[in-house]
Amino acid sequence: MMAAIAAARNGASTLILERSGFFGGNIATQLLEHSAGWQDAAGHPIVGGLPLEMIDRLKAGGASPGLVDDDTGYTRTRLPVEHELFKSLIVEWLDEEGVAIMPQAPVVAVSGAGVASGTEAALHAICETRSGRIAFCAKAMVDATGDADLFAKARCDFHPTSATQPVSMMFKLGNVDHAAALAYVRANPGDFKMDAGQPGFEGRHYYNLWGYGALLRRGFEAGLVSLDRKEMHVACHVLTREAVINVTRYAADATDAGDMARAELVLRRQVREFVRFFRKMVPGYENTFLSATASCVGVRESRRIKGRATLTDDDVRSGRDFADAVARGGFPIDSHDAKGNSMDGTEPVPSGYDIPLGAMLPVNGPNLIAAGRCISAERRALASARITGTCMAMGQAAGTAAALSALSGIPMVDLDITQLQQRLREQGALFGGKTREPAI
Ligand SMILES: Cc1cc2nc3c(=O)[nH]c(=O)nc-3n(C[C@H](O)[C@H](O)[C@H](O)COP(=O)(O)OP(=O)(O)OC[C@H]3O[C@@H](n4cnc5c(N)ncnc54)[C@H](O)[C@@H]3O)c2cc1C
């Protein structure tokens, strides 16, 4: 969505193709607890431009309170979202910007080169649509599919994948008695991650928890749930008496249809078991019900393109700056264990780090750029850069690069980086060197 809006703002005739019936990516499909990745560990803003404009729009439209404290202390702030309103506001925003929309249009093939070394060949994305199979033609394309589907169809190279983080299915519970839920938290603070100090929950409309290990153990031992989990994330909306739960998981290759079919079955069963567990064991949830589930299995990690540069684990840990920076990350390295009951790696990232344009461009292939969790990155690096705030910043950069390329006839790999960076800065993007914005 950020790539499409950035491309349109920069003067390109833009079309967004989406396989599902609505726009907004995982925030909408997965009912994410919140969007995160907005500041580095010191509290300096690392995302500007269009994603911040999105926050303002969501606030104005009643779809978010804006950035609120992360009670767990894992990161500085987080952006709770009312998912159903979010879907409406995003599609209206795309339309306002003049982006042509095509939902229910999975890209099933890619052919051609696009703008390539001085020639203007057509690049086609072939989609299944409600009107049949259509080939859409463009000079430049952004692959923001998460799974690098367009790069795969164009037969580009990928980093070898020996293991990936688990897939999950998020769900939302209704009719939660938050006063009772918080009384339990206050009585059992040791069972919750509260690195920011014990939060003052009083009068708050949003709070989030990471814990409940003691109850999860009891639920597993009592046979209520078949999944042995040491902790879960619970993001609460007090006024609507809701809670979004991140606890299910399954080890799957997200590019394998058989694995994903099995994941759908296993994860929905887990959801049902956890609802039973909440009703029987978690104070405040005695009369809860399953009010929503993610519209499909949620993927944390799959294909990573082989780029002209690769964001390494060390780049992220050391807060590296790049000369061809176009976006900035700073979320902790956050890796869920596919086989175990907890995380297999959470590491704070001491300062922000740059995302280089080179990590978004393929070593070879058509005039295609990656944005989001399919960029060229080592696994731990991606475990930080996959957070939605950073993905949206990459989206703005990719859409701007695609527009400059389409309008100038220069392939994205040959764009003048200074010109691209200047355009991004003019449009509010933050990157390149330690961020000078004041900490919050
Ligand atoms: C269970 C779970 C919980 C998470 N929790 C959080 C959280 O709390 N906060 C946070 O910030 N991040 C969270 N993340 C991480 C975050 O959601 C993702 O890493 C991020 O959304 C990736 O962004 P993206 O733009 O690359 O892909 P996505 O957000 O997945 O967007 C990809 C879009 O492309 C569409 N698409 C895919 N293939 C095709 C195709 N072939 N043709 C057309 N359209 C296609 C998809 O339908 C989707 O709309 C979570 C992830 C998961 C799985």
| Domain limit, last residue, from 243, 273, 293 | 293
Same-domain pairing of 214 and 194: yes
Same-domain pairing of 216 and 284: yes
Taking a C-beta distance cutoff of 8 angstroms, is the pair 236, 243 a contact? yes
pLDDT surpassing 70 at residue 437: no
Whole-number Å distance, alpha carbon 299 to ligand 1 midpoint, is 7
48 lines ligand 1 (CB under 6 A): no
Same-domain pairing of 146 and 225: no
How far apart are alpha carbons 67 and 36 in whole angstroms?
A: 9
Query: What is the per-residue pLDDT for 117?
Result: 54
**Rounded mean pLDDT, 419-435:** 90
Q: Let me know if residue 74 belongs to a domain.
A: no
Same-domain pairing of 14 and 115: yes
Q: Model confidence over 142-151: pLDDT tens digits?
A: 999 999 999 9
Question: Reduced to 3 states, what is the DSSP secondary structure of residue 80?
Answer: coil
Q: Which protein residue's CA is at the shortest distance from atom 12 of ligand 1? A: 387
pLDDT surpassing 90 at residue 440: no
pLDDT-derived band of residue 118, with 50, 70 and 90 as boundaries?
low
CATH code at position 127: 3.50.50
Sequence-distant (≥ 6) Cβ neighbours of residue 105 within 8 angstroms:
17, 18, 19, 127, 128, 129, 134
Number of domains in the chain: 2
Query: What is the per-residue pLDDT for 115?
Result: 76
Instruction: Specify the DSSP element, H or E, that contains 317.
Output: helix 313-318
pLDDT surpassing 60 at residue 175: yes
26 lines ligand 1 (CB under 6 A): yes
16, 17, 26, 74, best to mutate for ligand 1 pocket (most atoms within 8 Å of CB): 26
Q: Let me know if residue 223 belongs to a domain.
A: yes
- Range in 117-131, 353-367, 386-400 with the lowest mean pLDDT: 117-131
Whole-number Å distance, alpha carbon 33 to ligand 1 midpoint, is 13
Whole-number Å distance, alpha carbon 372 to ligand 1 midpoint, is 8
Query: What is the per-residue pLDDT for 119?
Result: 59
Q: Which protein residue's CA is at the shortest distance from atom 36 of ligand 1? A: 145
Per-position DSSP letters for 176-190, written without gaps between them: --HHHHHHHHHH-GG
Tokens read off for 358: 């080179």
pLDDT-derived band of residue 434, with 50, 70 and 90 as boundaries?
low
106 lines ligand 1 (CB under 6 A): yes
Same-domain pairing of 152 and 191: no
169 lines ligand 1 (CB under 6 A): no
Taking a C-beta distance cutoff of 8 angstroms, is the pair 304, 158 a contact? yes
70 lines ligand 1 (CB under 6 A): no
Q: Which protein residue's CA is at the shortest distance from atom 49 of ligand 1? A: 25
Taking a C-beta distance cutoff of 8 angstroms, is the pair 328, 387 a contact? no
Q: Let me know if residue 419 belongs to a domain.
A: yes
Q: Let me know if residue 69 belongs to a domain.
A: no
pLDDT-derived band of residue 414, with 50, 70 and 90 as boundaries?
very high
pLDDT-derived band of residue 54, with 50, 70 and 90 as boundaries?
very high
Same-domain pairing of 286 and 312: no
Q: Taking CA 398 as the corner, what is the angle to CA 395 and CA 402, rounded to the nearest 5 degrees?
A: 135
**Rounded mean pLDDT, 185-210:** 90
Query: What is the per-residue pLDDT for 439?
Result: 59
pLDDT-derived band of residue 53, with 50, 70 and 90 as boundaries?
very high
Same-domain pairing of 368 and 397: yes
Residue 284 sits in which domain range? 171-293
332 lines ligand 1 (CB under 6 A): no
149 CA closest ligand 1 atom index: 41
Q: Which protein residue's CA is at the shortest distance from atom 23 of ligand 1? A: 372
372 CA closest ligand 1 atom index: 26
141 lines ligand 1 (CB under 6 A): no
**Rounded mean pLDDT, 160-172:** 94
Query: What is the per-residue pLDDT for 113?
Result: 80
Query: 93 vs 121, which has greater pLDDT?
Result: 93
| Domain limit, last residue, from 251, 274, 293 | 293
In the chain, the percentage of residues whose pLDDT exceeds 90 is 88
**Rounded mean pLDDT, 325-347:** 88
Whole-number Å distance, alpha carbon 436 to ligand 1 midpoint, is 29
Query: What is the per-residue pLDDT for 82?
Result: 96
33 lines ligand 1 (CB under 6 A): yes
pLDDT-derived band of residue 343, with 50, 70 and 90 as boundaries?
confident
Q: Let me know if residue 44 belongs to a domain.
A: no
335 lines ligand 1 (CB under 6 A): no
pLDDT surpassing 90 at residue 335: no
Name the CA radius of gyration of the chain, rounded. Answer: 21
How far apart are alpha carbons 115 and 106 in whole angstroms?
A: 23
In the predicted model, what is the mean pLDDT of the chain?
Answer: 94
Same-domain pairing of 206 and 103: no
Sequence-distant (≥ 6) Cβ neighbours of residue 256 within 8 angstroms:
none
Q: Model confidence over 295-316: pLDDT tens digits?
A: 999 999 999 999 999 999 999 9
Same-domain pairing of 315 and 412: yes
Taking a C-beta distance cutoff of 8 angstroms, is the pair 262, 213 a contact? no
Same-domain pairing of 154 and 23: yes
Query: What is the per-residue pLDDT for 338?
Result: 82
Whole-number Å distance, alpha carbon 219 to ligand 1 midpoint, is 30
pLDDT-derived band of residue 116, with 50, 70 and 90 as boundaries?
low
Q: Let me know if residue 60 belongs to a domain.
A: no
**Rounded mean pLDDT, 167-171:** 98
pLDDT surpassing 60 at residue 198: yes
Q: Let me know if residue 405 belongs to a domain.
A: yes
pLDDT-derived band of residue 345, with 50, 70 and 90 as boundaries?
confident
Please count the CA atoms within 13 angstroms of the CA of 102 that sit on its side-chain side: 19
145, 206, 248, 360, best to mutate for ligand 1 pocket (most atoms within 8 Å of CB): 145
Query: What is the per-residue pLDDT for 186?
Result: 93
Same-domain pairing of 364 and 418: yes
pLDDT surpassing 60 at residue 34: yes
How far apart are alpha carbons 182 and 177 in whole angstroms?
A: 9
Q: Which protein residue's CA is at the shortest distance from atom 21 of ligand 1? A: 26
Same-domain pairing of 19 and 145: yes
| Domain limit, last residue, from 247, 273, 293 | 293
pLDDT surpassing 90 at residue 133: yes
Q: Let me know if residue 7 belongs to a domain.
A: yes
pLDDT surpassing 90 at residue 406: yes
